[in-house]
């Protein structure tokens, strides 16, 4: 793929994940003024995941990096708009959730292909854990930063 085509493909991925996240924010009744920021949070998380996954980083590592960026963006948006961070987390996490792989695991379990179902199930569990861990690390970074900032201001 040429350089220009690759950039256009990444741009298309960014735009579609932006709209997917924004539409899920509508479904989850996010305030109207937060639809665009929610879309940006989800799109940034997805594009980090997609770029890393495109360049042969494992899906688990790419999911961790995507959710870490998503978590940092969600905290930044939360501070900027003075809204709860969960508004940005819930809608933004949608593109990263391994729903298709979970469906495949369940389908293989139903058709008695247990080895494939087990492989897919373990992969879903690892990806989901990486997403959760990325959000926790982002939470810890912000908690530590603001705690240190508060400590420095007291001095």
Q: What is the pTM of this model?
A: 0.89
CA 13 → CA 6, 57, 153, distances in Å? 11, 18, 42
Tens-place pLDDT, residues 14-72: 999 999 999 999 999 999 999 999 999 999 999 999 999 988 899 999 999 999 999 99
What are the φ and ψ backbone dihedral angles of 28, each rounded to 5 degrees? -85, 15
Q: Residue 48 corresponds to which tokens in the numbers above? A: 């980090």
């Amino acid at each position: 793929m040429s350089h220009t085509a690759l950039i256009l493909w990444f741009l298309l991925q960014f735009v579609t994940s932006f709209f997917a996240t924004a539409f899920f924010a509508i479904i989850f009744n996010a305030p109207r003024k937060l639809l665009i920021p929610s879309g940006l949070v989800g799109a940034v998380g997805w594009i980090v995941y997609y770029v890393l996954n495109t360049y042969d980083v494992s899906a688990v590592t790419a999911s961790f990096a995507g959710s870490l960026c998503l978590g940092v963006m969600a905290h930044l948006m939360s501070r900027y708009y003075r809204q709860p961070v969960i508004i940005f987390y819930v809608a933004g996490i949608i593109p990263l959730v391994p729903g298709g792989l979970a469906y495949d695991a369940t389908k293989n379990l139903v058709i008695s292909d247990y080895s494939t179902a087990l492989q897919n199930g373990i992969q879903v569990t690892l990806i989901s854990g990486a997403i959760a861990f990325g959000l926790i690390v982002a939470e810890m970074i912000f908690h530590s930063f603001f705690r240190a900032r508060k400590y420095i201001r007291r001095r």
